[in-house]
Amino acid sequence: MTSRHLPCGTSVSLLLAGVLLASAPAGRLAAQQPAGGAAAVPTPRGADGKPDLNGIWSGGGGGGAGFAAENPADTGNVVALLRARAPELDKAVPAGSDANYAYAIVNFERDSGLSQRAVRNRPLYKPEHWQKVNALDQNGNALDPAFKCLPQGVPRMGPPQKIVHTAKELIFLYGLRMTRVIPIDGRPLPPISEWVGLWNGVSRGRWEGDELVVETVDFNDETWLGWPGWFHSIDMKVTERLRRDGDTLRWQATVEDPVLLRPWIVNPRTVRLNPNAGAELEEDLPCFERDLQHMVTKERG
């Protein structure tokens, strides 16, 4: 360790403390204060009795594998906060809880890519695909669609930044020049004979009790599941579950794909309702990739 690493480490510690402080209340709220509890914020409901999902939800829009904005006053989500993975953090929370993210360390040092690959929750590929994943990862600066300003897709986008909830459909806005319109009127998913291959697929929503279940098929294979070369096939199926409790919204996605040994459960995310009723979404800026031409190595992270 060089002397330069000392202040970096200090900063990581400070940041970790901040992450813990920022993320712990949301996790406890979801886990210990269900809607209807004495201290809970009531869950508003629509005419059909289902939870009202309308609102701007802080923390959506990008980096579904681990990034999340925590400031409920944020109106945009282009920001990606450092979510450092620390073994002590993993041990401090029960497995499967919202706080149990597999955070990645981004430290701008030469080993940053290695650190980011050391996430605990990763999709398990069938052996015949391991070489491909590795090759994509090693050349990720040039090949990662997110780095090329292409859509991150589902589920990498994470939870939506804003939801417009009507009786028959949900509109998810992501702040990444991406919008999904999801019917909740009972229509079925299209049969495979009608698939065309889409960036965000075709989605259908339905309620299971108070939980919204969104199933999506008909993807292309251009997007990745995550930073370390995690590709998927056109046969992927993604099932997202959204549950509102008071002013929090819990999002979780499960990826089923023939290239995987078993379904991959994406780290759950709990986002919070923007308390500012007058909050507006920021403009989605155009994206231009001009950095790759200046890169002299394949280092990542």
Partner 1 sequence: MSLRHLGGLVVCTLFLGGVGVDAHHAVQAQFDVSGAAVTLVGTLKKTEWINPHAKLHITVKNENTGQMEDWELQMAAAAQLRRNGFPLSVRGGIKPGDPITATAFVARDGSTTGLLRSIKFPDGRTFTRGVYGEADLAK
| Chain positions contacting partner 1, by CB under 8 A | 4-12, 14-15, 18, 62-63, 67, 74, 76-82, 106-110, 112-113, 141, 147, 149, 282, 285-289, 291-292, 294-301
CB of 73 or CB of 167, closer to partner 1: 73
Least distance to partner 1, CB of residue 115, Å:
11
Q: Is the Cβ–Cβ distance between 97 and 31 less than 8 Å? A: yes
Nearer to partner 1, 193 or 297 (CB): 297
What is the smallest separation between the CB atom of 165 and partner 1, expressed in angstroms? 24
Q: Which amino acid is at 144?
A: D
* Closer of 208 and 291 to partner 1 (Cβ): 291
CB of 151 to partner 1, least distance (A): 13
Nearest Cα residue to 274 out of 157, 172, 161: 161
Rounded CA-CA distance 57/159 in Å is: 8
Q: How far is the CB of 37 from partner 1 (least distance, A)?
A: 33
Min CB(77)–partner 1 separation in Å: 8
- Residue 281 Cβ, how far from partner 1 at the closest point, in Å? 10
Question: Nearest 5 degrees, angle CA 235-CA 168-CA 225?
Answer: 30
Min separation Cβ 158 and partner 1, Å: 13
Give the residue carrying structure tokens 């997110």.
146
Q: Which two tokens stand for residue 278?
A: 């007058």
CB-nearer residue toward partner 1: 93 or 150: 150
Question: Collapsing DSSP states into helix, strand and coil, what is residue 263?
Answer: coil
User: Between residues 57 and 219, which has the closer beta carbon with respect to partner 1?
Assistant: 57
Q: Which residue from 284, 297, 235, 286 is spatially nearest to 75, judged by alpha carbons? A: 284
E strand or H helix that includes residue 248 = strand 248-256
Element (H, E) at 264: strand 264-265
Q: How far is the CB of 6 from partner 1 (least distance, A)?
A: 7
Given a contact cutoff of 8 angstroms between Cβ atoms, the answer to whether 241 and 265 are in contact is no
Q: Which is nearer to partner 1, 161 or 270 (CB)?
A: 161
- 199: helix, strand or coil: coil
- Residues 85 and 13: beta-carbon distance below 8 Å: no
Residue with smaller CB distance to partner 1, 5 or 126: 5
> What's phi and psi for 103, nearest 5 deg?
-70, 155
- In SS3 terms, 212-273 reads as EEEEEECECCCCEEECCCEECCCCCEEEEEEEEECCEEEEEEEEECCCECCCEECCCEEEEE
Residue closer to partner 1 (CB basis): 201 or 229? 229
